[in-house]
């Protein structure tokens, strides 16, 4: 296969396992997806479903070496024709910040408290543009701050992170991530720490910037509203595995997996009629050490019996349910559609 045939970002059977005292934590256990330039992928899933671990794996930010905390990573991560899992740490480091960049959830802790915002942006720029002078880099930093909508960027560039408000910090983080025009931007819960009104500003900003730079974007969140705003494609994760993947519109319109139904049913929505009761997913998220046998969702799945026992024994694979729309569920497609139409859709 030639390089050009490959998608810009292609993750193949990614497994990230952490050895701990209590056992092997299978944080990501067989994840595959593709992402093209200019497209946005939304990854949703509950806390602990392996979203952050996935993004850190792509960035190569898991700690290598040593005994504790270093995960066992297997599978392939192809970025622009290069396998990041196979590449050496030095190579990945060169790509990091330049070709791929990341925005973190909590901008306050993600910035060094002792250095000015400007200095931290300049540093990222100069790391990949060794020839650039400090003054030029500073100019670039001011330009980036301006670009992300920070007023008076020439003054603010010399502020420390704690002197910024939450929204401004997240903007500064974005400026820092975009300073080298990365072609892949990963945003791990970029707005969770922010207020709705500020969140709206930031989401707008990300969308505009993506249009402008044409980069590929992965947005990670547990808020279905946020992905609906931004994503072209959506990947739903449960217990370290993808359970459903598809274009945003279809996924929201006709979700295939009972877990996705659960997610949609459990959130009150402003855009719908008021329901009397929410429909929660019963039970609690699974242990990643002792992942339930078969379908990891089966202990919480109201339809597990309908699989004729397969759900407890057989691990479902992601199978195409509709064009470009895949789900990992033992329920026959027809059955799924029936249940959705009869029981779920009316309540949503």
- CA count, 13 A, side-chain hemisphere, 200: 2
Nearer to other proteins, 1 or 270 (CB): 270
Nearer to ligand ATP, 52 or 183 (CB): 52
| Stretch 279-308 residues interacting with other proteins (CB under 8 A) | 279-292, 298-300, 302, 304
The full 3-state SS of the chain, as one line of letters, equals CCHHHCCCEEEEEEEEEEEECCEEEEEEEEEEEEECCCCEEEEEECCCCCHHHHHHHHHCCCCCCCCCCCCEEEEEEEECCEECCCCCHHHHHHHECCCEEEECCCHHHHCCCCCCHHHHHHHHHHHHCCCCCHHHHHHHHHHHHHHCCCCCHHHHCCCCHHHCCHHHHHHHHHHHHHCCCCCEEEEECCCCCCCHHHHHHHHHHHHHHHHHHCCEEEEEECCHHHHHHHCCEEEEEECCEEEEEEEHHHHHHCCCCHHHHHHHHHCCCCCCCCCCCCCCCCCCCCCCCCCCCCCCCHHHCCCHHHHCCHHHHCCCCCEEEECCEEECCCCCHHHHHHHHHHHHHHHC
**Cα angle vertex 158, ends 152, 161, to 5°?**
95
Nearer to other proteins, 41 or 224 (CB): 224
218 binds other proteins (CB under 8 A): no
| Stretch 227-286 residues interacting with other proteins (CB under 8 A) | 227-229, 231, 248-249, 252-253, 262-271, 274-286
18 binds ligand ATP (CB under 6 A): yes
| Stretch 21-50 residues interacting with ligand ATP (CB under 6 A) | 25, 27, 45, 47-50
CB of residue 1 to other proteins, shortest distance in Å: 28
Nearer to other proteins, 333 or 339 (CB): 339
Which of these, 270, 194, 210, lies nearest to 41 by C-alpha position?
210
What is the contact mask toward Mg ion in residues 43 to 82, using x (rule: CB under 5 A)? ---------x------------------------------
Using the contact rule CB under 8 A, the part of the chain among 21-29, 139-147, 317-325, 330-338 near other proteins is 21-29
What is the contact mask toward ligand ATP in residues 258 to 287, using x (rule: CB under 6 A)? ------------------------------
| Stretch 112-131 residues interacting with other proteins (CB under 8 A) | 112-114, 120, 123-124, 127-128
CB of residue 130 to ligand ATP, shortest distance in Å: 32
| Stretch 51-110 residues interacting with ligand ATP (CB under 6 A) | 51-53, 69
Among 195, 212, 314, 320, binds other proteins (CB under 8 A): 195
Nearer to ligand ATP, 12 or 222 (CB): 222
Dist CA 81 CA 86 (whole Å): 12
| CB neighbour class for 196 (10 Å; exposed up to 12, middle 13-18, buried from 19) | exposed
Which of these, 218, 242, 222, 339, lies nearest to 296 by C-alpha position?
242
Question: Which of other proteins, Mg ion, ligand ATP, none has residue 18 at its interface (CB below 5 to 8 Å by kind)?
Answer: ligand ATP
What is the contact mask toward other proteins in residues 89 to 108, using x (rule: CB under 8 A)? ----xxxxxx--xx-x-x--
What is the contact mask toward other proteins in residues 62 to 81, using x (rule: CB under 8 A)? ----xxx-------------
CB of residue 28 to Mg ion, shortest distance in Å: 12
Question: Which of Mg ion, ligand ATP, other proteins, none has residue 316 at its interface (CB below 5 to 8 Å by kind)?
Answer: none
Residues engaged in binding Mg ion (CB under 5 A):
52
Residues engaged in binding ligand ATP (CB under 6 A):
18, 20, 25, 27, 45, 47-53, 69, 222, 288
């Amino acid at each position: 296969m030639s390089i050009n045939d490959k998608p810009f970002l292609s993750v193949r059977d990614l497994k990230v396992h952490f050895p701990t005292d209590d056992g092997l934590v299978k944080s990501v256990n067989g994840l595959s997806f593709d992402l093209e330039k200019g497209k946005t992928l939304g990854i949703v899933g509950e806390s602990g479903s392996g979203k952050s671990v996935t993004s850190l794996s792509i960035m190569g930010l898991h700690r290598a070496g040593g005994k504790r905390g270093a995960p066992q990573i297997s599978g392939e991560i192809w970025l622009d024709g290069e396998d990041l899992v196979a590449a050496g740490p030095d190579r990945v480091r060169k790509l990091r910040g330049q070709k791929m960049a990341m925005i973190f959830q909590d901008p306050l802790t993600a910035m060094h408290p002792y250095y000015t915002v400007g200095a931290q942006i300049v540093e990222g720029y100069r790391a990949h543009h060794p020839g650039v002078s400090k003054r030029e880099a500073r100019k670039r930093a001011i330009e980036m701050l301006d670009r992300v909508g920070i007023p008076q960027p020439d003054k603010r560039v010399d502020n420390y992170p704690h002197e910024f408000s939450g929204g401004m910090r997240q903007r500064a983080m974005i400026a820092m991530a975009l300073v080298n025009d990365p072609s892949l931007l990963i945003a791990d819960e970029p707005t969770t720490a922010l207020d709705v009104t500020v969140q709206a500003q930031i989401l707008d900003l990300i969308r505009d910037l993506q249009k402008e730079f044409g980069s590929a974007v992965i947005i990670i969140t547990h808020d279905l509203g946020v992905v609906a705003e931004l994503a072209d494609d959506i990947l739903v994760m449960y217990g370290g595995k993808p359970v459903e993947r598809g274009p945003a519109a279809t996924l929201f319109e006709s979700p295939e997996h009972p877990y996705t139904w659960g997610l949609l049913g459990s959130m009150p929505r402003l855009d719908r009629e008021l329901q009397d009761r929410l429909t929660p997913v019963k039970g609690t998220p699974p242990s990643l050490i002792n992942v339930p046998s078969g379908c990891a969702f089966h202990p919480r799945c109201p339809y597990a019996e309908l699989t004729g026992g397969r759900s407890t024994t057989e691990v479902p694979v992601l199978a195409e349910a509709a064009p470009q729309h895949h789900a990992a569920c033992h329920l026959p497609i027809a059955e799924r559609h029936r249940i959705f139409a009869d029981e779920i859709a009316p309540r949503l």
